[in-house]
Structure 1
Amino acid sequence: MKELRPAIMTLILFTVICGGIYPALVTGIARAVFPKQANGSLIAGKNGAELGSALIGQPFSAPQYFWPRPSATADFGYNPMASGGSNAGPTTPDYLKTVGDRVRALRDTGVAGPIPADLVQASASGLDPHITLAAAKLQIPRVARARGLGEETVAELLARAAEERQLGFLGEPRVNVLMLNLALDRLGSLPG
């Protein structure tokens, strides 16, 4: 019994410190130093309603919007709680069928020529908020047609929304799909 009591007291003490005090302290510091990031990098609309996060992909499928990278969690609506890749290999029949279906869907919208991989293959997390500039440029004609805008106008908007490589050399130039689509919506209403 004399060994059990110190063990129980140590368990309680470390539970309070590691499970309560430390997380509260770190969360408080994060909210003070990086308030936007600590709260999920949420983007609010005109009326204050949350439109999404700049860090998590959003589902867009209407022709007047740029489409994001496919999500392995699409059955769950780009749900971060279901984050993860499919673990399917590049020669798996189901994977090849899925990619083939995505290519056909893009071809049905009038896309010709090579299709960037990020428009038909999900990322490892399944929640990427970005697509490459090549993937976005491929969608300009469809988006411009659906919105009744000139392709030059949409291309200019894309150029303004483009993000450079991280640290100048990591990754590819890219664009955040949610931010780009919100900028499109700010241009005005659709024809019709």
Structure 2
Amino acid sequence: MKKYLWPSIKLTVLLLVLLAGIYPLFLAGVARLAPGKGGGVTVTHNGRVVGYENIGQKFTQDKYFWSRPSTVDYNAAGSGGSNKAAGNPEYLKTVQERIDSFLVHNPNVKKEDIPAELVTASASGLDPHLSPAAAYIQISRVAKARGIAPEKLKQLVDDNTKGPLFGLLGPSVVNVLKLNIALDELK
């Protein structure tokens, strides 16, 4: 037994120093090199921080583009999905309620035309992006609420659409917070 005790203690101390000391310090150093210095990339408007670039926010007024639904009410401290199967009756009821609400606020849209991302939450509940199609389908509601020509809003969505990484990886996306800030800045 003594033969194994001393090597076990040495290995425990070594791993403690490596995994509880050096490794976290290394990751903190790498994070300082990233945008936002490891604290997240903030979005400012009129000189004050209004949100984070990679955390979704709730928009419910008709004069704004709506974000993807969140099961955690956009709380980054408790991110997570509903963990309900696609056939779960409670989940299906929630999705149907979201569809009904969307159709009330967007009467010119047919149920089958609603992009799934506007009525289903992401896995983290914090997704800040929509597809361009999900933004386009909201244009008539926002145009009516603000008295802005739909063509102008389509151009605004296009201007705020970010293409795939390196032109190849992933879909085109629109950051809803940045889109709504640009919307507020329209004259």
TM-score tier (shorter): 0.7 to 0.9
Q: Is contact 2:40–2:52 with CA below 8 Å preserved after alignment?
A: yes
Structure 2 residue aligned with 1:138: 137
The residue number in structure 2 matching 1:102 is: 98
Task: Write the deviation string for residues 39-88 of structure 1: whole angstroms up to 9, x where unpaired.
Answer: 212212332x32111111111111111101111212xxx11222222121
**Equivalents in 2 of 1:111, 1:27: separation in Å?**
50
Q: Residue 121 of structure 2: SS of its match in structure 1?
A: coil
**TM-score calculated relative to the size of structure 2:** 0.85
CA deviations on 1:2-43 (whole Å, 9 max, x unpaired) are 886776676455434432333223312331x32426221221
Mark the CA change 1:37 to 1:124 in structure 2 (over 3 Å): closer, same or farther. Answer: farther
Kindly indicate whether the alpha-carbon contact (under 8 Å) linking 1:42 and 1:52 is maintained by their aligned counterparts in 2.
Answer: yes
After superposition, give the CA deviation of every residue in 1:107-142 in whole Å (9 maximum; x if it has no partner): 111242211101011112221111111110010111
The change in CA–CA distance for 1:120 and 1:26 in structure 2 (over 3 A counts) is same
Question: After superposition, where does 1:1-192 map in structure 2 within 5 Å?
Answer: 11-12=12-13, 14-31=15-32, 33-36=33-36, 38-47=38-47, 49-74=48-73, 78-109=74-105, 110-113=107-110, 114-188=113-187
1:71 & 1:37 partners in 2: Cα distance? 27
Cα separation, 2, equivalents of 1:99 and 1:28 = 42
TM-score (ref. length: structure 1): 0.83
Q: 1-side partners of 2:176 and 2:163: how far apart?
A: 15
When structure 1 is superposed on structure 2, of 162-171 and 65-74 the one drifting more is 162-171
Q: Is the 8 A contact 2:160 2:179 kept in 1?
A: yes
Structure 1 residues 92, 174: closer, same or farther in 2, change over 3 A? Answer: same
**Contact 2:131 2:174 survives alignment (8 Å):** yes
Secondary structure of the equivalent of 1:97?
helix
Unaligned 5+ residue runs, structure 1? none
Gap runs ≥5 in structure 2: none
What is the alpha-carbon root mean square deviation over aligned residues?
2.3
Give the direction of change, closer, same or farther, for the CA distance of 1:6–1:169 in structure 2 (3 Å limit): closer
Counting matched residue pairs gives 183
Between 147-156 and 129-138, the greater mean CA deviation after superposition: 147-156
- 1:4 and 1:173 mapped to 2: Cα distance? 57
